Structure 1
Amino acid sequence: MLVPGRGLPKPEHWMQRWAAANPSYLWAPRPPGPPFILEDRVQALHAAIAADDEPAVLIAHSGGCLSTVVWAQRHVGPVQAALLVTPPYVDKHWPSFGLVPRQRLPFRTILVASHTDPYTSFAQFQRYADDWGAELFDAGEAGHLETASGYGPWPDGERLVETLT
């Protein structure tokens, strides 16, 4: 299940490529683009998880990672694992968001971190991983792992998903 960030992924973005190559990958929600309204995103994710009897593997990017951790704090459901790719660092002063949950996630999680992400430092990624009980995958100097950083194809990500299924 693909959990998009706040923007609409470009056609060449790795999430769009994975959705096209894997018809079983569902969007939760279908990429709506801005604005990012957390409550709407969490409700859409909950509806998608609840609609499927099979345990989900959540593949979240950027703001979608925040939707995922908020969902996990509020709900239970058939989730097998999550791949959280470059979650942005949000402090208590970010408008209309509030605090990011810091509780351990109840499913296996891999957090993908970059040394050159403009929204999160590597140390902040490490704190998220520690708080959420996630394995940290060091992606090197990968920017925000989006199209502007050169990610179209992302074979390392595909391999990470395989370890979660």
Structure 2
Amino acid sequence: MPTILTVPGYQNSGPGHWQSLWEASLGGVKRVEMSSWEHPVKAAWVEALDEAIADCQEPPILVGHSLGCLAIVHWAEGHDREIRGALLAAPSDVERPDALAVLRPFGPIPRLRLAFPAIVAASSDDPFLSPARARILAADWGARFVDLGPCGHLNQASGHGPWPRGEALLSDLR
């Protein structure tokens, strides 16, 4: 079974976040640790992801949330290690006029077709990504798009601790 690498977003994923719960309950799930969760630096995040991928015995599955999704796509733009697939949950649109200044350096968002299977799972009422933009990014990345309906930013603040639907999407990539 491939290693699953979780790539949290800005400010990391707390203990009750679905990524943390997966790390505790599913086998072979490891978090990619970033040098700074509060002051993300794109190059450092991409390098940390590359090192984590290089440490895997076989091609991993990447599971990004929010800004972590963009770290994955930026990594894909400049690296060619083999990846089994990626679940990109609630990507953050850092190109929005109201995006936090600390996140803007992750733009421009790469608009390349990913070299591995990917699923973009997005909410219809995510405050950080419009449904139309989510569909455009999924199409640009060659990813399957999954409309999750109204469920916020897929984080604890929007009521997501366990995320069974996400586990089903992860199974699709396994």
- Report the TM-score, using the length of structure 1 for normalisation: 0.94
Aligned length: 165
Partners of 1:11 and 1:70 in 2: how far apart? 26
Aligned pairs for 1:88-127 within 5 A? 88-91=92-95, 95-127=104-136
Aligned pairs for 1:38-49 within 5 A? 38-49=42-53
Task: Identify which of 20, 31, 41 aligns with 1:37.
Answer: 41
Q: Which moved more, 1:16-25 or 1:73-82?
A: 16-25
Partners of 1:117 and 1:92 in 2: how far apart? 13
Instruction: Return the offset for 1:33.
Output: 2.5
Task: Give the letter for the 1:159 counterpart.
Answer: A
Task: Give the letter for the 2:123 counterpart.
Answer: S
1:3-42 superposed Cα distances (whole Å, 9 cap, x missing partner): 1101121211101100111241111126852111111110
Instruction: Return the offset for 1:97.
Output: 3.0
Check whether the contact 2:34–2:44 (CA below 8 A) recurs between aligned residues. Answer: no
Task: Identify which of 152, 155, 165 aligns with 1:156.
Answer: 165
Instruction: Return the offset for 1:53.
Output: 2.5
Unaligned 5+ segments in structure 1 are: none
- Report the TM-score, using the length of structure 2 for normalisation: 0.90
User: Hey, what does 2:71 align to over in structure 1?
Assistant: 67
Instruction: Return the offset for 1:86.
Output: 0.5
User: Hey, what does 2:54 align to over in structure 1?
Assistant: 50
Partners of 2:15 and 2:52 in 1: how far apart? 23
User: Hey, what does 2:155 align to over in structure 1?
Assistant: 146
Check whether the contact 1:9–1:31 (CA below 8 A) recurs between aligned residues. Answer: no
Check whether the contact 1:4–1:31 (CA below 8 A) recurs between aligned residues. Answer: no
1:131-164 superposed Cα distances (whole Å, 9 cap, x missing partner): 0001001110010000000000100000100010
- 2:106 matches 1:81: no
Percent identity over paired residues: 40
Against the structure 1 CA distance between its residues 31 and 17, is the aligned structure 2 distance closer, same or farther, given a 3 Å change threshold?
A: farther
Task: Identify which of 137, 140, 144 aligns with 2:146.
Answer: 137
User: What is the root-mean-square deviation in Å for CA atoms of aligned residues?
Assistant: 1.6
